[in-house]
Amino acid sequence: MHDDRQLVEGRLDRAMRQFVRPAQYAQRTPLTLSVWHAPGEPVPVAEALKADYERFEPGTVWGRPWATSWFRLDGAVPEEWAGRHVEAVVDPGFTGQGPGFQAEGLLYDASGVPLKGIHPRNRQLTVARRAVGGEPVHLLLEAAANPTVIRDFTPTPLGDVLTAGDRPVYRFRAADLAVLDETVWHLVLDVEVLSELMHELDADRGRRHDILRALERMLDALDLHDVSGTAAAARAELAEVLARPAHASAHRISAAGHAHIDSAWLWPLRETVRKASRTFANVTALARDYPELVFACSQAQQYAWVKEHQPHIWERIKKAVADGNWAPVGSMWVESDANMPGGEALARQLVHGKRFFLDELGVETEEVWLPDSFGYTAAFPQLAKLAGAKWFLTQKLSWNQTNKMPHHTFWWEGIDGTRVFTHFPPVDTYNAQFHARELAHAERNFAEKGGASRSLVPFGWGDGGGGPTREMLEKARRLRSLEGSPTVEIEKPAAFFEAAYQEYGERAPVWSGELYLEMHRATYTTQAKTKQGNRRSEHALREAELWCTAAALRDPSYPYPYDDLDRIWKTVLLHQFHDILPGSSIAWVHREARETYARVLAELDALTADAVRRLGGGEPSALNASPYSRSEVVAHEGRLVHVNVDGLGGRPLAEAAAHTRGPGAHAAATREADEKIVLANEYLTVAVDADGLLASVRDLEHGGREVLTPGARGNLLQLHPDHPTQYDAWDLDAHYRHTRTDLTDAESVELVEDGPLRVTVRVVRSFGKSRVTQEYRLAAGSRRLEVVTDIDWQESEKVLKAAFPLDVHAERSAAEIQFGHVQRPTHANTGWDAARYEICAHRWLRVAEEEYGVALLNDSTYGHDVTRTPHGEGLGTTVRLTLLRAPHSPDPETDLGTHRFTYALLPGATTGDAVAEGLALNLPLRIADAPDVAPLVAVGHPAVTVESVKLAEDRSGDVVVRLYESRGGRAAATLTTSFPVAGADETDLLERPLHPAATSDAGLSLALRPFQIVTLRLRPA
């Protein structure tokens, strides 16, 4: 037979484009339009119903960026359409951009009840399946003029309402009543399914040619000038090839409806409230027509928004959950970043998410659902298990630039040895559309062939929301069992996981350690003030809960601020969303985040101050929210005081100063002939040269060992050009390292504080349009050299690093993560090692030889890099902090302005030192009038770190203590309290008892495995 495939396929393409698809709506009549342009921020529908509307003509421009216009759509069903399927079809000016990245709308009925969202791939609302002639139609459209912000990652002012301007961005095309020809519509879907499948089959497959000839016969049966009249005959020609069942060995796909909605990204938080409402209205409407639909939806925050703002949609969600069409998933408050949130914050993501789904919907979610986060901490498996989750899902690893993940269904093992059954869908998208290309890719790509036979496909428009459409559901029906294609079963993710576990769980491979995303490495640094706000809020919450608990235990009349803390926690958790905390959102989002963090910190400071007052007053005291005892120099009333304070307790300053190291504690400075300024205390001798760099750091506790690499200088600021290939805010591409400028010129180097309790050298330097002032501070009794940095950052597309070349031969670095630390090679032997050229650390990063280590601490920095540094006498290790960036998209002024942050060098540091000093740097001693406060709890083992102390969420008055083994070893400890305890249980993260805690007269006996997290619930006597 002659090969005429291209001719037939070309014939098909033109017929569908020019004749068949337009025939789906062969009859139209325009609706009458009128408009009210809301003057400011979005308003409730009740306000829009009362507004004055003016006539509006199709073809007219509307919508300044980020504004809202309300359109009335009025008309009547023509008499001749009686009995037909009539729809309202709306196009407010959709562009070529995908759903969620342009104009969007929500349709209401005339009384203000929300009906359905509209977007470019879902423009219609069914008015009547069997219309009554003359029936009036009155609709209200809330239309959002959301601009398209990202166009080739070029700078744009559209990312903030303050800079976007007033020029209208859309032209309203049409709003019509139209008759849907269902036979033609089904014909289109038949053809799409078969044509897409055909193109995925090899040319030597008989099935491909069977489909081609069936499509050719369909075309022959179709009169292109009477598509409606011949569509049924055309469909009949396709019935046989559509009816052929899939092979018994076909890959099995479990499909779940999905609508990934970024809680903020290229739109502000307030717009996500409306995106969720539009999408959820779509899904609940779709479920009425397709009872097989299962919609998997995460992010409790978005449910809470809809419950508050759209009660009608909320009731429909509850019904859909009860009917089985809706599956709450994910167990978290938002789909957060999975690297930078602190340990307690990540636990609270799960606590608040799980509790919302339990309390509001009666559902115990069983999975962690993070398809789009930028890498995943190795602490997650244990946290998932402790929250009652059994499964874990991610999709983002398909974005790896260097190495392909070897598994799609596997056990993920965390730092403590806990494993969670994990799936990484081989379809490589969480926004699938049931295109044959996607399903074929899922089957070809599936790494577990021969051991497992099923994978998960989340389908629906996403990122900006939208969700599944009726066309997707129709395709799924045709693909349920179709020769040449994987089978498709729409079902809940939990059903997929259970089936996959039963099939493969005992034989599945194990991936140990973090799931590092080989992309988006700059998200550890971009939008430094957002990251700083997060870090400080996390620690301020820790402090507030501790002292509020102390106040409640000491004063029965004290009203523990449950509601305030709950609200503030949810605010902080929301801002950990994976496009807010990573810094990849528009300017508007980060401007609001900075304002929000300022309010959060002020409110937490007030709550803490009030709690401290309720402790009973007294003289000025030092309060220590860290679980470790502190010996520090603090400022009080214009003078410095050296104090010792127990962990989780407080001590009056006079008494605290009396318990310091005594006359041996000192700090002094000298000037040398070569213009060096030498700072010294009991532990360190530090030389600052004429360029304001560290020329020498000697560790006196270790025989005067030089910490810096021979010939190198420390705290060297280095400036690199920073031009990612594509994703400006997200990526730090490896080529940035090819060029750098060392910032060695100093305008001034001066001694500004000269003991006896602290010595300080101030260095000022300018570069480009920027200016930085750094103070080296060395306090009496302290083993850390602090670098307090103030910078006016005015660079463009640069990245600023601070380098510390250390004379330490380290095979690996240890970086703090949530509830422990991970070790990463310092070499680049393999592609996996080389790809980790930028890494995330929390409060500290440590490099070490067998007997000696050095840690670098920080109070708000997450991005680091570690490299091996040969020198004349051996091999050293250079550790760099990534301080600031200046990308232009999506925020053209990212990070410009003033910043203040502190980092510190800790020579001779053990892992335990790094843990304790990292906490000290992030939890400054609070000076307030208070009595002597005995530690609320104490643990008799230095490796056991108390993470949080709070009152139980059920308001019973029980005290909840969360702690963990922080050094990577085993620890037997006894927990004691300063208040009487009647009983104690070990609980899960949601404070539900697991088993009684082992108690004795000495206290609670604990035996922890490496990095084990334990939550204790104590009942005060």
Query: Active-site residues: which are they?
Result: 372
CA neighbor of 287 nearest in space, from 311, 321, 310: 321
Tokens of 756: 């006896």
Per the listing, tokens 């002597």 go with 932
On whether the CB atoms of residues 921 and 927 are closer than 8 A, the answer is no
Neighbours of 945 (CB within 10 A): 25
- Residue 196 Cα distances to 11, 397, 456, 463, angstroms: 15, 27, 20, 24
CA-CA distance, 260 to 1021, in Å (whole number)? Answer: 48
Per the listing, tokens 């393999």 go with 830
Sign of CA dihedral 425, 428, 433, 434: negative
Which residues, 6+ apart, have CB-to-CB distance to 156 below 8 Å?
149, 889, 890, 892
Which residues, 6+ apart, have CB-to-CB distance to 791 below 8 Å?
770, 771, 772, 773, 883, 884, 898, 899, 900
On whether the CB atoms of residues 537 and 597 are closer than 8 A, the answer is yes
- Residue 510 Cα distances to 394, 412, 422, angstroms: 15, 6, 10
DSSP-H helix ranges across 871-961: 911-922
CA-CA distance, 27 to 23, in Å (whole number)? Answer: 9
On whether the CB atoms of residues 367 and 390 are closer than 8 A, the answer is yes
Largest CA distance in the chain: 102
658 membership: H or E segment, kind and range = helix 653-658
CA-CA distance, 255 to 315, in Å (whole number)? Answer: 25
At 234, is the secondary structure helix, strand, or coil?
helix
CA-CA distance, 133 to 147, in Å (whole number)? Answer: 39
Which residues, 6+ apart, have CB-to-CB distance to 362 below 8 Å?
321
Neighbours of 1010 (CB within 10 A): 17
CA-CA distance, 673 to 682, in Å (whole number)? Answer: 23
Sign of CA dihedral 996, 385, 818, 370: negative
Phi, psi of 429 (to 5 degrees): -160, 150
What is the separation of C-alpha 605 from the centre of its chain, rounded to a whole number of angstroms? 26
Q: How many CA atoms lie within 13 A of 45 on its CB side?
A: 24
On whether the CB atoms of residues 847 and 823 are closer than 8 A, the answer is no
